[in-house]
Amino acid sequence: MGLSAKDALQLRDTLQIAVVKCSERCLYHAAKWAAELLDALPQPSAADFKATQDLPSSYIHPAFTPNHDPAEAALEAKELSRYLLAKSLFDCKEFDRCAAVFLPESSLAEMLGTKVDDATTTEGREKQRPSVVLPSERALPQISQKSLFLALYAKMISGEKRKEEESEMIMGPQDLGTITNKQLAVISRFLTKWFDQRKSEGGDVAPSQGFLEYLYGMVLVKEKNDKAALQYLVESVQLFPWNWGAWMEITNLITRVEQLNEVTPKLPQNIMSFIFHAHASINLYQQGGEIANALNDLLVVFPTSSFLLTDKALLYYHSKDLVAAEQEFSQLLGLHPQRIDALDHYSNILYVLNLRPKLAFLAHLCSSIDTFRPESCVVIGNYYSLLSCHDKAVHYFRRALMLDRSCLSAWTLMGHEYVELKNTHAAIESYRRAVDVNRRDYRAWYGLGQTYEVLEMHAYALWYYKKAAGLRPWDGKMWQAVGSCLQKMGRDKDGIKALKRALLADSYYDSSASSFGSTGTIDRMTQMDPEVLLQIAAMYDRMEEEEEAKAYMELCVAQEDGGVTNDQGPGLGDSIGVRADSPGSDDGEGRGERVAAGEGTGVTVATSKARMWLAKYAMRVEDYETANRLATELCQDGVEVEEAKALIREARSRMEQTSMMES
């Protein structure tokens, strides 16, 4: 996906305009994202600059962003002094004063037909929600869309700030997560009236710029009105596609691949939509050659983009290829050594790979750059967790949550630490709060299942494991947990189905080659987890299906040398109903490890138990030579030696009796 010189220059100028427009409206994260993407564009040659002669003059050197609508331009010119004051107040974090420049509390109450008594006092703020309708309502003020957005956005940020101030201590007795932003109702009512007024005026109004739709979408998200929020956010990106904040809100609203496919045709067809689709797919844990190729194409255009390189590392991370993910993050850190974004994921990878020196370096680096960033606290917490200092780890995860209560990694990892500290009540609460932040977080659902399983509440554990498996249908670890839970509940038939699906998932995905290769294909390998095979065999044995049990016991023993090569096991796909979703994976936050695909496991406890079962089975069916061979192998392995020696003696005795009878 290469761009011509003219297209590259147009893209550069468009991104410059996007940075300025987002900065004018104090959308700092969206401006930073666009600026980073702009910086990742290769510098054009001197010859390429000649192409600018063919571009419209408004695209060249966008130091300011003049409005092309005469009415809006006149309003912006008239308000310039007040706008500069409001923006300066916003930059100084005086959000109430910023909002009051254009929308004073008293005027706002009259405009919305609500009574706000002494709204500037603490008591007035507590009862600011609209309730009493006045006999008449004033018309909305005639101010530019840019100034209106800034005022309402400042009011929303002010409400969020006050919400944080009123919240109780993290995980404290009164921390119920019920504190709300009291400004949302005012903003929602104002914007509803503003949009209704535009509809009533028809074509006599200035075209919308897309930012007020974005703001209304954010308000609707916080009010849990996801359907209407998605509609306004899609409209926002259609009007102004370069606001990455709107795309991120859409990403957070999409919970299924089917929903992503429904939304995609409604989006503007440009490079932003292309970036969004790749990012949203990774956010939904999708894998495969298409996403890898999309990222590769984008990296041709933006070769040093920190955002795209992070997505590439996360694609490896979600596909269990932790070594490749660690290398990608390491290269990214070399390119952008002061960038802390997404380093919490990097620390999870280093934790699982047990790379303590690198994790110590990363923690020191984050601490030296900015100690009070949530990502820095998560990295330091992971380091203490690796040192088994679980109390210190909890301290830093709590600090991350004090800085940002929506920090998903901190809630989930703090749940893991409470499990280590045997504080199951706090672990359950941490996982529940993680799910409240993001219901797609399969790690939190899985953690809830594990915690309830520790409490021997298997029905609850099974429900949560199924939620995790539904989010990651191709993750063998999820189905293994479901199968083990069903086994403990005595539901052997259903447990066998779940464990067979775990084997299918691992055989499909454990061996996945790099998606960034030339073909992007995935090879199916036959390495299977002997523990899972042993569990399946044991359940068949309890169901008195000895032939099936024997087949799986033999398959378990075969894993010592790398498994079979031509078959995926007896009845592996029976009654599973595999979906064609993306493969799943275990990753750093799950605290899991895996056996490298294609390598034999060697002698394990599971294979030794399977060998002992086969030896006893051979004795029952009077196959004494096989029983003697298997028992001898057990003695050589140094496992169950005494019982194996007894089997050898009995098998040899029976063979001698048989030979004497035959003679």
Q: For 323-340, write each residue's pLDDT tens digit.
A: 999 999 999 999 999 999
Q: What is the pLDDT of residue 87?
A: 95
Residues forming a β-bridge with 133: 114
Q: What is the pLDDT of residue 518?
A: 34
pLDDT above 80: residue 418: yes
CA 22/CA 245 separation, integer angstroms: 10
Share of the chain above pLDDT 70, in %: 83
Summarize the confidence of residues 489-509 as an average pLDDT. 84
Spatial contact of 598 and 511, defined as CB atoms under 8 Å apart:
yes
* One-letter amino acid of 311: D
HSE-up of residue 282 (Cα within 13 Å, Cβ side): 26
User: Terminal CA-to-CA distance of the chain, rounded, Å?
Assistant: 81
Q: What is the pLDDT of residue 591?
A: 42
pLDDT above 90: residue 636: no
Q: What is the pLDDT of residue 60?
A: 42
Task: Give the model confidence (pLDDT) of 597-623 as tens digits.
Answer: 446 678 888 888 888 889 888 888 888
Q: What is the pLDDT of residue 408?
A: 93
Retrieve residue 546's tokens. 């000895």
Task: Give the model confidence (pLDDT) of 450-490 as tens digits.
Answer: 999 999 999 999 999 999 998 888 888 999 999 999 999 98
Nearest to 271 by CA among 259, 282, 279: 279
Angle between helix axes 322-335 and 306-318 (nearest 10 degrees) is 170
In degrees and rounded to multiples of 5, residue 522 shows phi and psi of -120, 125
Q: Could you give the residue ranges of the DSSP H alpha helices within 510-604?
A: 530-542, 546-558
Helix (H) or strand (E) holding 496, with range, is helix 492-509
* 8-state DSSP, 204: G
Spatial contact of 137 and 194, defined as CB atoms under 8 Å apart:
no
pLDDT above 70: residue 507: no
CA 480/CA 484 separation, integer angstroms: 6
Burial of 638 from C-beta contacts in 10 A (0-12 / 13-18 / 19+): exposed
Task: Give the model confidence (pLDDT) of 144-169 as tens digits.
Answer: 999 999 999 999 999 999 998 888 78
Global pTM reads 0.83
Residues forming a β-bridge with 114: 133
Retrieve residue 335's tokens. 């390119």
Q: What is the pLDDT of residue 420?
A: 94
Burial of 200 from C-beta contacts in 10 A (0-12 / 13-18 / 19+): exposed
| Per-residue b or e along 223-257, where b marks 16 or more CB atoms closer than 10 Å to that residue's CB | eeeeeebbbbbbbbbebbbbbbbbbbbbbbbbeee
Q: What is the pLDDT of residue 254?
A: 94
Burial of 313 from C-beta contacts in 10 A (0-12 / 13-18 / 19+): buried
CA 385/CA 414 separation, integer angstroms: 10
What is the pLDDT of the chain when averaged over all its residues?
Answer: 83
